[in-house]
Structure 1
Amino acid sequence: MPFELPRLPYDRTALQPHLSAESLDLHHGRHYRAYLDAVNARIAGTDLEDLALDELVRHSQGSLFDAAAQAWNHGFYFQCLHPRGGGDPHGRLAELVTRHFGDMRRLRDEFDQAALGLFGSGWVWLVQHPGGALAIQTTRNAGTPLTGNSTPLLACDIWEHAYYTDYQNERARYLQAFWKLVNWDFVASQLRD
């Protein structure tokens, strides 16, 4: 069964002024759709067409991996944002942030440094390692934590199409907006027990 572009979990104007409707139209409606269309074209009529997207990412390579991983990454990223997001996490997630980073300010600083230091296109992730520790991870291009042992909790898209419409080449301004939209409830729901 072909993969379909899921609806955004909020209205296309809901993330304004931090991310514009025009930016979401381009990012979600064009790029995310193109990755899903590429996956569908490559798996049609093969034994891969019944796999879930995350399984397809784990069991593919080459151009199929690139399209599948980008599709999965984008779907995850849009879940990480919310119009009433931002602030600080609470509950167990807040405790883990304090344990592994000291405080939220240090987590943000390390995450931002990773994002600003990533040359070219890619992703910055807050992940949970198998032992429970939280860490920041960067991946280039279509890379994703799904291919390793860590559980992705939070994703920030550092491909230029994620922020160029609203922020041009100012990645630091995009990151400031990103933190105002983080859906901490979704992030916490991804934690392993």
Structure 2
Amino acid sequence: MIATRRSVLLLAAGTAAATLARPSILRAAKPFEQPPLPFDENALAPQISARTVGLHYGKHHKAYFDKLNQLVPGTPYADMTLEKVVVAAKKDGEDKVFNQAGQAWNHVFYWQQFKGGPTKPTGAFADAVKRDFGDEKGLFKAIAKESDAVFGTGWVWLVADNDKLAVKGYQDAGNPLPDGLKPLVGIDLWEHAYYLDYENRKGEHVGALLSERINWQAAGERMST
């Protein structure tokens, strides 16, 4: 009985030591974590209600991270940053991984762009807006037009293509990273982003975010980095 008990204790100790010696395996089980919201759920009202933020962040955004963490263990993606997973999975044609990683990354960007807003374009960014769109109204009109052209689910992005600004629409989980473009502003066109507050009035939702919620100064800082 003593020998058996000792064997059990030694086996348990060995298992614990082996587990501690393989931290990478533990991390690979759940390598990506959803960042916390950078504000309270009611901070974006009335343009985005607390109920929409709660469901959008707490259900939809969380689900993308959860599903991504089911897909990547044991693959090269497990050791990459989320941004690199987006680019690599798109290049590799791994649609399942790309869709979850893309949506996870898109939403991190989406929430961050509202922090500290709304603000107006300033400095070199304001000059670029004037050069490429005529003025702020021209920029908003270009984004609204592209968002209307995206059929079904997707995103519309203001991007920096070297020194030039451009508006790009993408289906589903698409974003500018795989194209080598720098994202400055991203508007979620999936119905879960606006339907509780605007029903089928997607254009009204897009306009409200552009004029009342986006931190355009932060967008300008992203352009210059």
TM-score by length of 1: 0.94
Where structure 1 has 5 or more consecutive residues not aligned to the other structure, the ranges are: none
Q: Relative to structure 2, which stretch is displaced further, 160-169 or 85-94?
A: 85-94
Question: Aligned-residue CA RMSD in angstroms?
Answer: 1.3
Aligned residues: 191
Which of 1 and 2 has greater Rg?
2
Residue correspondence of structure 1 range 170-189 to structure 2 within 5 A: 170-179=201-210, 180-189=212-221
Cα deviation for residue 117 of structure 1 reads 2.2
Partner residue in 2 for 1:123:
155
1:152 maps to what in 2? Answer: 183
1:167 aligns with one of 189, 192, 198: 198
Q: CA deviation at 1:88?
A: 2.3
Distance, in Å, in 1 between the alignment partners of 2:65 and 2:138 is 36
1:8 is matched with: 37
Residue 149 (structure 1) shift: 1.9
Equivalent position amino acid for 1:40 in 2: N
Say whether the 8 Å CA contact 2:86–2:102 is kept in structure 1. Answer: yes
Superposed counterparts of 1:63-82, under 5 Å: 63-82=96-115
Q: Which has the higher contact order (CA 8 A, sep 6+)?
A: 1
Q: CA deviation at 1:31?
A: 0.7
Tell whether the 8 Å contact from 1:56 to 1:68 is kept in structure 2 after alignment.
Answer: yes
Distance in structure 2 (CA, Å) of the matches to 1:85 and 1:64: 32
Asked if the contact 2:119/2:217 (under 8 Å) is kept, the reply is no
Q: Going by fraction, where is helix more abundant, 1 or 2?
A: 2
- Any conservation in 2 of the 1:125–1:156 contact (CA below 8 Å)? yes
> Given the two structures, how large is their TM-score scaled by the length of structure 2?
0.81
Structure 1 range deviating more: 9-18 or 43-52: 43-52
Q: State the partner residue of 1:135.
A: 166
Q: Kindly state the Cα deviation for residue 87 of structure 1 after the two structures are TM-superposed.
A: 4.7
Aligned to 1:25: 54
